[in-house]
Amino acid sequence: MFGRTLRLVTFSNTQNLKTTACCSGLIIHIMKAITITKYIKKSLLLVTALVTLTAVAQDDDTTSPLSFSGSVDAYFRTTFNDAGDATTATPTSFANQTGFALGMANLIGSYESGSTGVVVDLVFGPRGTEATFNNDVLNGIINQAYAYWNVSESTTLTIGRFNTFLGYEVIAPQANFNYSVSYLFSNGPFSHLGVKADFALSDDVSLMLGIMNPWDTNDISGTGEYSLGAQLGVYGQFLNLYYDSGKNGGLGFEIDYTGGVDISEDFFLGVNAAYNTNDEADTGFYGLALYPQLSTSDSFAIGLRGEYFAATADGGDNYDDVLALTLTGSFTKDNLIIKPEIRLDSADGAFLDSDGLASDSLSSFAIAAIYSFD
């Protein structure tokens, strides 16, 4: 109803499947083990190669064009009205497991030579798998992979797969204040595959134009359809536009505003508002999220995300809405960030209580550890 995380897969003839599977289960198990082993070996070789190249480059030249960065995150989460696995998750992306769980490992390698460069961003773990829409462990690890050309001081061309320009939040957890993510972020694109041009029109005004495959298409556009994107930035406020035909699972049209203002030296208020409509699929959503954040010291800050979100699946005036309040603390020690978080989601009959009955709310507590390096 509210997010892309609600995609359901159903199976029929379960008993017959169990019967026929008994003869092939061992083979499947062996093949899975071989596949995963090969994947782990390839991943370790790739990571080792990146680390080695970085170390060698740093030894040879302290201003090496090769750089290496990344992050690792894990968390503990519990809900206060737990009625089983099917009821503990919010209808948003990421950080929805209960108990102790992994987020992802993120490894980013970049190389720049003259006016050109390349970035490869690899992700491992549940958050990375969900962000790339690919459960295949051999192919689902590329978050971003693009080349760029700084044509001039004010113009940059980029081609490849890059994270979306829409929305206030991002995939990498260390770049968000809240650990869990919003409904607006969960329902918009995560990434795009295509080409874009960024123009710095002045010190405070920027423009981006792009042509890409349709919404969250990781590989190719097999339908001959493409999407268009644009972003206008003025003094740190951004107006974002996206359009595809809405066919074949496309997003349709979305307009999105992202910005914020420093109310004082220690107090910041972030804002995200969006409206989406897809006439082809008769779906749409709109919402507003506010992000007041207060820094109490150099190492600690506290912030609230207050979000109202409404979505429709029939194209009419019947919107299902939700109010979500997320209070997050952020303690920083060197490269480590600890984020305790309390979240309350409220929507008419959208959740289940501990007895399995319809409930209007779901409350949860999480504490996350994020380590980033560059």
Give the rounded percent of residues in the chain with a pLDDT score beyond 70.
78
Q: Decide: 337 and 372 in contact? Cβ < 8 Å.
A: yes
Model confidence band, residue 19 (pLDDT cutoffs 50, 70, 90) = very low
pLDDT at 87: 63
pLDDT at 199: 98
Query: What CATH number belongs to 69-373?
Result: 2.40.170.10
pLDDT tens track for 223-251: 788 999 999 999 999 999 999 988 877 89
Task: List, in sequence order, every residue forming a beta bridge with 294; answer none if it has no partner.
Answer: 267, 302
Report pLDDT digits (tens) over 336-350: 999 999 999 999 877
Q: In the chain, what percentage of residues exceed pLDDT 90? A: 61
Task: Please report the pLDDT score of residue 2 as a whole number.
Answer: 63
The ranges assigned to domains in the chain are 14-64, 69-373
- Strand ranges for the chain from DSSP E: 66-79, 99-113, 116-124, 142-150, 155-163, 191-200, 205-212, 227-234, 237-243, 253-262, 267-278, 283-295, 300-312, 320-333, 336-352, 358-373
Tokens of residue 278, six digits: 């897809």
* Token pair in block for residue 279: 């006439």
Question: Is pLDDT above 90 for 256?
Answer: yes
pTM for the model stands at 0.82
User: 15 pLDDT exceeds 50?
Assistant: no
Nearest residue to 215 via CA among 280, 122, 153: 280
Handedness of CA 200, 201, 204, 210 (dihedral sign): negative
C-alpha distances in Å from residue 86, one per residue of 91, 128, 229, 244, 325: 11, 21, 36, 33, 21
pLDDT of res. 247: 84
**Measuring CA to CA, which residue among 319, 209, 315, 323 is closest to residue 252?**
315
Tell me the average pLDDT across 200-224: 85
Report pLDDT for 48. 55
Q: What is the pLDDT of residues 280-295, one digit of tens each?
A: 888 999 999 999 999 9
Beta strands in 279-357 (DSSP E): 283-295, 300-312, 320-333, 336-352
Residue 183 backbone phi and psi in degrees, to 5: -70, -40
Higher pLDDT, 4 or 288: 288
